């Protein structure tokens, strides 16, 4: 929802994707928000024409864990290094800053980056004793190096349906049952 103002961009984002008008033929359109307000997401949903089901979901911070999934207290009050290889690191940084009120430095890698040992050494050097925070997606790839990494926090997100859940689930059930 936060990117809806990018009129020339295509969906979900970038070239070789579909235009907004293409949504007219969609069976389901799900507006996803991470940092956008619910009102902004509602406005984006209103831009979509066509007969398809409209739904809206939000990704919200759920909890902090270590690499093994054990719960940790929030890393509040500490200087942090945010390590990520997601397409939009700004939204992750915004979440971390909002949750911790800490000074957070970004160390962003390209989307879907496969971390190597040399990268982990760079992370450790850049952290310089600070705690590291990362996404669940990146934690899966960094887990191999958990012994080498400093005190690392993984931000686990929760998906919350804000509208349209039942209709989307009905469509999925119908498709699975061949109706």
pLDDT for residue 45: 83
Residue keyed to tokens 């066509």: 50
List the structure tokens of 103: 């000074």
pLDDT for residue 13: 57
In degrees and rounded to multiples of 5, residue 43 shows phi and psi of -65, -40
Global pTM reads 0.80
pLDDT for residue 1: 59
pLDDT for residue 11: 53
pLDDT for residue 52: 84
Which secondary structure element, helix H or strand E, spans residue 65, and what is its range?
strand 53-65
Give the 3-state secondary structure of residue 152. Answer: strand
Q: How many residues belong to the chain? A: 179
From first to last of the 179 residues of the chain, give the pLDDT tens digit.
555 554 555 555 555 567 777 878 888 989 988 878 899 988 888 887 678 888 999 999 999 999 999 999 999 778 999 999 998 899 899 899 989 988 999 999 999 999 999 999 999 999 999 999 999 999 999 999 999 997 999 999 999 999 999 999 999 999 999 87
Average pLDDT, the chain: 88
pLDDT for residue 5: 55
Q: Percentage of residues in the chain with pLDDT exceeding 90?
A: 62
Tell me how far CA of residue 135 lies from CA of 31, 101, 120, in angstroms: 21, 18, 15
């Amino acid at each position: 929802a936060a990117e809806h103002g990018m009129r020339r961009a295509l969906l979900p984002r970038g070239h070789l994707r579909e235009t907004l008008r293409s949504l007219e033929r969609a069976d389901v359109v799900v507006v996803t928000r991470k940092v956008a307000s619910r009102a902004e997401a509602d406005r984006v949903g209103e831009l979509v024409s066509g007969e398809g089901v409209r739904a809206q979901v939000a990704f919200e911070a759920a909890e902090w864990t270590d690499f093994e999934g054990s719960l940790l207290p929030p890393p509040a009050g500490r200087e942090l290094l945010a390590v990520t290889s997601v397409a939009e690191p700004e939204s992750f940084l915004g979440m971390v800053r909002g949750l911790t009120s800490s000074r957070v430095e970004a160390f962003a890698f390209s989307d879907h980056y496969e971390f190597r040992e040399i990268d982990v050494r760079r992370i450790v050097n850049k952290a310089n004793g600070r705690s590291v925070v990362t996404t669940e997606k990146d934690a899966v790839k960094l887990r191999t190096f958990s012994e080498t990494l400093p005190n690392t926090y993984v931000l686990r997100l929760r998906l919350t349906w804000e509208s349209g859940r039942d209709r989307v689930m009905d469509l999925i059930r119908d498709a699975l049952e061949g109706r």
